[in-house]
Amino acid sequence: MKNNEGGIDRMVRILAGLVLLGLMAMGTIGWWGWLGIVPLATGLIGWCPVYTLLGMNTCPMKSKP
């Protein structure tokens, strides 16, 4: 698996996942808050299977010397 998420993309996913899980833990939202695991996991791993299927990549290219 190659990384296909850039730094900002990963930070947004991690934050969104934590917010959803936090809101669910406080009882503000229902059971669907468990979906926060998906963006949290993909943000921590740095790889998104949907990006792979769509051929997307937000990870910056490394320049060759």
> Considering its fold, how many domains does the chain have in total?
1
What are the pLDDT digits (tens) for 30-53? 999 999 999 999 999 999 999 999
CA distance 53 to 32: 25
Would residue 22 count as lying in a domain?
Answer: yes
Question: Residue 61: its pLDDT value, please?
Answer: 73
Q: At what angle do helices 7-26 and 37-45 cross, to 10 degrees?
A: 150
Summarize the confidence of residues 6-10 as an average pLDDT.
Answer: 94
Residue 61 falls inside a structural domain:
no
- Structural domain for 33, as ranges: 7-46
Q: How confident is the model at residue 64 (pLDDT cuts 50, 70, 90)?
A: low
The confidence band for 22, taking pLDDT boundaries of 50, 70 and 90, is very high
| pTM to 2 decimal places | 0.85
Q: Where are the alpha helices (DSSP H) in the chain?
A: 7-26, 37-45, 49-54
